[in-house]
Amino acid sequence: MRKSGQPTINDVARIAGVSKKTVSRVINRSPLLHADTRARVEQVIGDLGYIPNPQARALALRRNFLIGLVHDNPNAQTVMNVQHGLLAGLRGTEFELVVRPVDRASPTMLEDLRHFLERQRLFGVLLMPPISEDDGVARLCAAIGCRYVRMGSATLDVPAQMVASDDRTAVREAAACLVARGHRRIGFIGGPAGFRSAHERRAGFDAALAAAGLDLPDDRVAEGHYTFESGLAAAERLLDADPRPTAIFAANDEMAAGVVHAARRRGLVIPDDLSIIGFDDTPIAAHLWPPLTTVRWPSMAMAHAAARKLIGEDGDQPAHFSSTLIHRASVAAPPDVPPPPGGGGSAQR
């Protein structure tokens, strides 16, 4: 055993009684090995404290130990949550994370993305919505041999290459909650056109109202862009209606925060005069006053599972995840409906 300096791959091979190529196969997780050989080499690696050279490994595999996150998402908090989930999934491994924003409206988006993937020689990439909803991006990854997982609000691919929530069902539950509290004039602020999540959340909302026999006139619908400013502008328009909505569902928490500000500008009290529900359960939902009832989108759990799929630790990693309605203090019965027996709203502290 070496008395000084860092152990090398030659030291591992000599002590384990195998060739350097066999050690390399163990390090690179090649399936072409007997279990006892793999165990013996791994034992020596552990005993020596040998750390493989990442540059040499990358050269042998023709891939860097990098996982990419590709996104074109206007909500910085959502992107941050996904990063946290990916990093948690990569913790304890040799992989690192690189983040690449792209512009899906650019005519050179696919070409630019190809150059990025080929230049970085990524081991794999997580595609966030709405980029993940573009089948052309998935075909590009497959064509250049880059592993990918698509993240979305509905089924987008085979289970091994997808992590998805069921936004439609979650929003249907949220809208049904408002109906159950007695609301009949409910406004809706949707996400930007071209986002699958916007379509799924609108479909869930429509289904809940249809089941209750309620209509959704044009003056109770507004499109936002998943930003605070767009939620504020959309809420101003909805609250100009006569009669105005007694409740508003916003397709994400940033826009719901805009609704809160618009309501307060008019002197409306939440939830006495106006009930509000958001989507995502980002930190802003709990920090608003009153705290926001919202749908918890399991973005971090989805990203964690995606990381494990990308690095080959799939195992029992799920492809489908459930969103959860989180009851806080921003929902109550409308002013003309008495509270349920026992008082109380739906607050959950």
Instruction: Tell me the C-alpha distance between 319 and 162, whole Å.
Output: 6
What number of helices (H) and strands (E) belong to the chain? 13, 12
DSSP 338: P
Q: Is 66-166+300-321's fold the same as 167-297's?
A: yes
How many angstroms separate the CA atoms of 36 and 283, rounded? 49
Report whether CATH 3.30.1360.120 matches the domain 66-166+300-321: no
Contact (CB, 8 A) for 243 and 271: no
Q: Which of 126, 204, 190, 202 is nearest to 164 (CA)?
A: 126
DSSP, res 316: T
E strand residue ranges, the chain: 66-71, 96-101, 124-127, 147-152, 162-165, 186-190, 221-223, 247-250, 275-280, 293-296, 320-321, 324-326
Domain ranges for the chain: 66-166+300-321, 167-297
Q: Which pLDDT tens digit goes with each residue over 108-136?
A: 999 999 999 988 888 899 999 999 999 99
Residue 30's contacts (CB-CB under 8 Å, 6 or more residues apart) are none
Per-residue pLDDT tens, the chain, 349 aa: give them: 444 567 888 888 888 898 878 887 777 666 667 888 888 888 888 888 877 665 555 545 555 789 999 999 777 888 999 999 999 999 888 888 999 999 988 999 999 999 999 888 888 999 999 999 999 999 999 999 999 999 999 899 999 999 999 999 999 999 999 999 999 999 999 999 888 999 999 999 999 999 999 989 999 999 999 999 999 999 999 999 999 999 999 999 999 999 999 999 999 999 999 999 999 999 999 999 999 999 999 999 999 999 999 988 666 789 999 999 999 999 999 987 665 555 444 433 2
Specify whether the CB–CB gap between 292 and 285 falls below 8 A: yes
For the stretch 175-188, pLDDT in tens is 999 999 999 999 99
30, 31, 33, 34: CA torsion to nearest 10: 140
| Environment class of 256 (CB within 10 Å of its CB; exposed 0-12, middle 13-18, buried 19+) | buried
CA distances 126 to 71, 74, 164, 177, 179, Å, are: 9, 17, 12, 34, 37
**How much is the pLDDT for 305?**
95
Predicted local confidence at residue 33, as pLDDT: 79
- The CATH code of domain 167-297 reads 3.40.50.2300
User: How far is residue 110 from each of residues 131, 136, 146, 157, 270, measured CA to CA in Å?
Assistant: 10, 8, 14, 19, 45
User: What letter does residue 211 receive in the DSSP assignment?
Assistant: H
The count of residues in the chain is: 349
**Shortest CA distance to 56 belongs to which of 64, 45, 67, 48?**
64
Report the C-alpha gap between 280 and 318 in whole angstroms.
20
346 phi and psi angles, rounded to 5 deg: -100, 20
Judge whether 324 and 297 are in contact, CB under 8 Å: no
User: Would the CA dihedral through 243, 247, 248, 253 be positive or negative?
Assistant: positive
Query: Residue 214 — left, alpha, or beta (φ > 0 → left; ψ -120 to 50 → alpha)?
Result: beta
168: Cα separation from own chain's centroid? 15
Which amino acid, residue 173? E
